[in-house]
Amino acid sequence: MNQHDTVRPIQWTPQGLRLLDQRVLPGEVRYVDCRSAADVAAAIRDMAVRGAPAIGIAAAYGVVLAARQAYAEDPARWRELIEPGLAALAASRPTAVNLFWALARMRDRLATAGADPVAALLDEARAIQEEDLAANLCMGEHGAALLGEPGAVLTHCNTGSLATAGYGTALGVIRSGYEAGKITHVYADETRPWLQGARLTAWELIQDAIPVTLIADAAAPLLMRRGQVRWVIVGADRIAANGDVANKIGTYGLAIAARAHGVKFMVVAPTSTIDWAIETGDEIPIESRLDDELLSMQGQRIAAEGAAAWNPVFDVTPAEYIDVIVTEKGVVQRPRRETLARLRE
C-alpha cells in the first residue's frame, strides 16, 4: 500500500469474517465479527458492509462460514445443510449484481469442493478478494490516463477501499489521478440519506492525505456551472448490457447536470458489475429502504410528524449520459450495447 491507499475493510481470521463497521464511521472505528452466513447476511442487509464489490466479497466469505457450519453439523449432508445460509446471503440486498455473481462463483466451486469443502471455498473467496484489489489498481491506471490536464473532480457516495477489497473503483481512479498530479482536489457529495460521502469518502480521503471538500448534493450543478470540476467520477452497483448504470440515488441527476455544463462523466466498475442478462436499466430492480432513513438522523426525527417518505436507494443513468465506462478489462467510450459487448470477448 502507498500513502494514498491505507484502508482495508474486510479481513478473514481463524474465527471468521471481520468487517469494518461503516455505520459508525467516522466517529468510531469498530469491527463486526461474523461467525455464520446469517451474520454476514445481516451485516450486508444492515449496511455494516456496503459497496457492490465489498458485498460480493463478504458474501463469498459468508459461503465459507455456511460450509464450515454445515460440515461440522453433518459431514455427509453438508451440501444440503448449506442451502439456508446461501439463501440468506442471496436475500440480503437486491440491486448489487456482485452479490449474485460472487454467490454463483462460489456455487461453481462447491461442485468440485471434494472432501474438504471449507478449504476449497476459502481459497475461492480469497481469490475473489485478491482479484478485486488487482482489478481496482488496474482501473485506477486506466481511468487516470483519461483525465487530461490537472483539475478538480466530483464524486458521489463512497467507491473506495470501504466499498471494495481495497483502493476502490471511482476512488481508485481518483487515487491514481492524484498520485499522477492530474487531480488537484476532490469534491464529495454528502450523499443523503446515509451520508456515505460525508462519513466515508471524506474520511477515506483524509486518511490518505488527499484534499477533499464536502458539498451538499444539491450544490453539484452550481459547482459545475462555475467550472470548478472537469470530471464527475462515480461507481456502479449494476450495469445493464446496453450500458445503463444503476448507482447510488443522485447519480442520474449528476449525469444530467454534467452533460448540461460540459463536464465529463466517468463510471468505474469491474466487469463483474455488468449484468449481461439485463438488456436495459429499466429491468434493474431498485431497492427501497425504510422511511425512517429519510425522516430521521441518528435516531432523531428531523421531518414533520405525519410526513411520509419515498426512499429509493439507487437510480439508473442512461448510457447516453455517460462518456466512459472504465473496467479492469479496458475502457468503453460512449458506451452502448455493441461497444460494451467487446468486454466479453
pLDDT tens digits, residue range 49-60? 998 889 999 999
- Residue 5, pLDDT score: 79
- Residue 3, pLDDT score: 66
- Residue 298, pLDDT score: 79
Cβ pair 245, 340 in contact under 8 A:
no
Q: What is the extent of the structural domain holding 205?
A: 140-344
- Residue 246, pLDDT score: 97
CATH number at residue 323: 3.40.50.10470
Residue 2 lies in a domain: no
- Residue 127, pLDDT score: 97
Q: Are residues 25 and 107 in the same domain?
A: yes
DSSP 304: P
Does residue 237 carry a catalytic annotation? yes
Cβ pair 287, 230 in contact under 8 A:
no
Question: Could you read off the pLDDT tens digit of each residue along the chain, which spans 345 residues?
Answer: 566 677 889 999 999 999 999 999 999 999 999 999 999 999 999 999 998 889 999 999 999 999 999 999 999 999 999 999 999 999 998 877 889 999 999 999 999 988 779 999 999 999 999 999 999 999 999 999 999 999 999 999 999 999 999 999 999 999 999 999 999 999 999 999 989 999 999 999 999 999 999 999 999 999 999 999 999 999 999 999 999 999 999 999 999 999 999 999 999 999 989 999 999 999 999 999 999 999 998 789 999 999 999 999 999 999 999 999 999 999 999 999 999 999 987
Establish whether the linkage from the previous residue to 26 is cis, with ω within 30° of 0: yes
Burial of 306 (0-12, 13-18, 19+ CB in 10 A): exposed
Q: Are residues 124 and 144 in the same domain?
A: no
Q: Are residues 316 and 173 in the same domain?
A: yes
Residue 4 lies in a domain: no
Q: What is the pLDDT of residues 220-234, one digit of tens each?
A: 999 999 999 999 999
Closest alpha carbon to 171 in 130, 194, 139: 139
- Residue 16, pLDDT score: 96
Among the candidates 75, 104, 135, a domain finishes at: 135
- Residue 97, pLDDT score: 81
Query: d(Cα 135, Cα 272) in Å, to the nearest integer?
Result: 10
Q: Are residues 123 and 39 in the same domain?
A: yes
- Residue 9, pLDDT score: 92
Closest alpha carbon to 25 in 180, 161, 201, 251: 201
Q: Please give the tally of structural domains in the chain.
A: 2
- Residue 61, pLDDT score: 98
Q: Are residues 69 and 94 in the same domain?
A: yes
Cα dihedral 254, 256, 261, 267 in deg (nearest 10): 60
Q: Which residue type occupies 284? A: I
Q: Write down the H helix ranges in the chain.
A: 37-45, 52-73, 78-81, 83-90, 97-110, 117-144, 170-179, 196, 202-207, 220-225, 251-260, 292-295, 337-341
Is beta strand 31-34 parallel, antiparallel or unpaired with respect to 151-155? unpaired
Residue 271 lies in a domain: yes
Among the candidates 82, 106, 135, a domain finishes at: 135
- Residue 345, pLDDT score: 78
This prediction's pTM? 0.89
CATH number at residue 80: 1.20.120.420
- Residue 60, pLDDT score: 98
Angle at 193 between CA 252 and CA 140, to 5 degrees: 55
Among the candidates 95, 111, 135, a domain finishes at: 135
Q: Which residue type occupies 192? A: R
Residue 235 lies in a domain: yes
Query: d(Cα 29, Cα 17) in Å, to the nearest integer?
Result: 16
Please give the grid coordinates belonging to residue 14: 481463524
Distances from the Cα of 212 to the Cαs of 18, 28, 157, 189, 235, in angstroms? 28, 20, 14, 10, 18
- Residue 2, pLDDT score: 64
Catalytic residue among 39, 237, 315, 323: 237
